[in-house]
Structure 1
Amino acid sequence: MKLGSGLQRAQAFLIVATALYRASHLMVGLVAVVQHHRHRPVSWAVLAAAVACSVLVYGTARARGWFNGRTVWADVLVTGCALPFAAYLWGGAHEAPAIAWVMVLGGSSSAPAAVVLDRAQAVLAVALVAVTHALGYSLVGAAMAVTAGHLNSVVSSAVLGWVFWWYLRRQGTLLDTANEKAKEAEAQRARYAERIVHHRALHDTVLATLTAIAGGGVDANSEQVRSRCAREAAYLRRLIQQSADADAYPEAGAALEEAVRAAECLGLSVSAQYGEVPSVPPEVAAEVAAAVTEALNNVLRHAGTGRAYLTATGRDGRLVVTVVDRGKGFDPELVAGGLGLRSSVHERMRGIGGAAEVESVPGEGARVELSWPA
Structure 2
Amino acid sequence: MTGREWEMVVPAGSLPLARWRALRWSSGTGSALRRARSFMILTTLLYRASHLTVGVLAVAQHRPDRPVPYLGLAAALGLSILVYGTALRRGWFDPRQVGADVLVTGCALPFALYAWGGVRDTPSLGWAMLLGGSASAVAAVALTRPYALAAVALLVATHLYGYHLVGASRAVLGGHLNSLVSSAVMAWVMWWYLRRQGRLLDEANARALAAEAEKARYAERLAHHRALHDTVLATLTALAAGGIDANAPEVRQRCAREAAYLRRLVQRGADEVPHPGIGAALEEAVGSAESLGLRVTAQYHRLPEVPPEVAAAFADATREALNNVRRHAGTGHAYLTATECPAGPDGRPGAVVTVVDRGPGFDPGTRESGFGLRRSVHGRLAEVGGRAVVDTAPGEGVRVELRWPA
Shared fold by TM > 0.5?
A: yes
| Equivalent residues in 2 for 1:202-241, closer than 5 Å | 202-241=228-267
- Bigger shift: residues 212-221 or 191-200: 191-200
Q: Which letter maps to 1:311?
A: T
Of 137, 141, 156, which aligns to 1:130?
A: 156
CA distance in 2 between counterparts of 1:12 and 1:346 reads 46
SS at match of 1:93: coil
Render the CA deviation track for 1:59-92: whole Å, top value 9, x for unaligned. Answer: 3323332111111111111111111112122222
**Alignment match of 1:67 (pick from 93, 114, 117):** 93
Equivalent position of 2:325 in the other structure: 299
Counterpart of 1:158? Answer: 184
Instruction: Determine the structure 2 residue equivalent to 1:19.
Output: 45
Contact conserved, 1:187 with 1:248, CA < 8 A, in 2? no
Note the alpha carbon deviations across 1:256-297, whole angstroms, 9 max, x for none.
Answer: 3443333222211112233x3243147354553343223212
Computed over aligned residues only, the root mean square deviation of the Cα atoms, in angstroms, reads 2.8
Over 3 Å counting, the alpha-carbon distance change for 1:7 and 1:321 in structure 2 is same
Of the structure 1 ranges 79-88 and 173-182, higher mean CA displacement relative to structure 2 is found in 173-182
In 2: Cα distance, 1:344 partner to 1:196 partner: 36
**Could you tell me which amino acid in structure 1 is paired with residue 242 of structure 2?**
G
| 1:75-224 matched pairs, under 5 angstroms | 75-224=101-250
Cα deviation for residue 208 of structure 1 reads 1.8
Q: CA deviation at 1:115?
A: 0.8
Q: Residues 274-313 of structure 1 correspond to what in structure 2 (within 5 A)?
A: 274=300, 276-281=301-306, 283=308, 284-285=310-311, 287-313=313-339
Q: Cα distance, 1:304 vs. partner?
A: 2.9
Quick check: 1:319 aligned with 2:344? no
Cα distance in 2, alignment partners of residues 14 and 247 from structure 1: 40
Q: Is the 8 A contact 2:306 2:350 kept in 1?
A: no
Q: Single out whichever of 238-247 and 120-129 deviates more from structure 2.
A: 238-247
After TM superposition, the structure 1 stretch with the greater mean CA deviation from structure 2, 108-117 or 203-212, is 203-212
Deviation of residue 183 (structure 1)?
A: 4.0
Task: Describe the shift of the 1:173–1:348 C-alpha distance in structure 2 as closer, same or farther (beyond 3 A).
Answer: farther
> Higher mean Cα deviation, 200-209 or 326-335?
326-335
1:365 aligns with 2:391: no
Give the distance between the partners of 1:195 and 1:84, measured in 2 at CA.
70
SS in 2 for 1:357: strand
Task: Evaluate the alpha carbon distance shift between residue 279 and residue 60 of structure 1 in structure 2; reply closer, same or farther with a 3 A threshold.
Answer: same
Q: Distance in 2 between matches of 1:189 and 1:357?
A: 40
Letter in 2 for 1:98: S
How far apart are the structure 2 equivalents of 1:240 and 1:116? 51
CA distance in 2, matches of 1:193, 1:22: 53
Is residue 304–residue 340 contact of structure 2 (8 Å, CA) maintained in 1?
A: no
Which amino acid in structure 2 is aligned with residue 321 of structure 1?
A: V
- Following superposition, the deviation at residue 323 of structure 1 comes to 0.4
Give how far 1:364 is off: 4.0
Which residue of 1 is the match for residue 6 of structure 2?
A: none
- Paired residues of 1:318 and 1:373 also in contact (CA < 8 A): yes
**Equivalent residue for 1:356, pick from 368, 383, 388:** 388
CA deviations over 1:75-116 (Å, ceiling 9, x no partner): 111111111112122222111112111111232201110111
Cα pair 2:106 2:135 within 8 Å, conserved: yes
Report deviation, 1:213. 0.8
Which deviates further from its counterpart, 20-29 or 345-354? 345-354
Query: TM-score normalized by structure 2?
Result: 0.81
Q: In the alignment, is the contact (CA less than 8 A) between 1:191 and 1:248 conserved in 2?
A: no
Q: Cα offset for 1:215?
A: 1.2
- Cα pair 1:194 1:250 within 8 Å, conserved: no
| Shift of residue 354, structure 1, vs aligned partner | 3.5
Deviation at 1:307, TM superposition (A): 0.9
Q: What is the rounded CA distance, in whole Å, between the counterparts of 2:260 and 2:173 in structure 1?
A: 85
Percentage identity across paired residues of the two chains: 64
Counterpart residue type for residue 304 of structure 2: S
Does the 8 Å contact 2:304/2:350 carry over to 1?
A: no
Structure 1 contact 247–253 (Cα < 8 Å) conserved? no
The amino acid across from 1:226 in the alignment is R
Structure 2 Cα separation of the partners of residues 291 and 197 of structure 1 = 28
* 1:254 Cα offset (Å): 4.6
Question: Structure 2: which 5+ residue stretches go unaligned?
Answer: 1-26, 343-348
Equivalent residue letter for 2:381: M
RCO (CA 8 Å, sep 6+): is it higher in 1 or 2? 2
Deviation at 1:141, TM superposition (A): 1.3
1:255 deviates by 4.2
Alignment size in residue pairs? 370
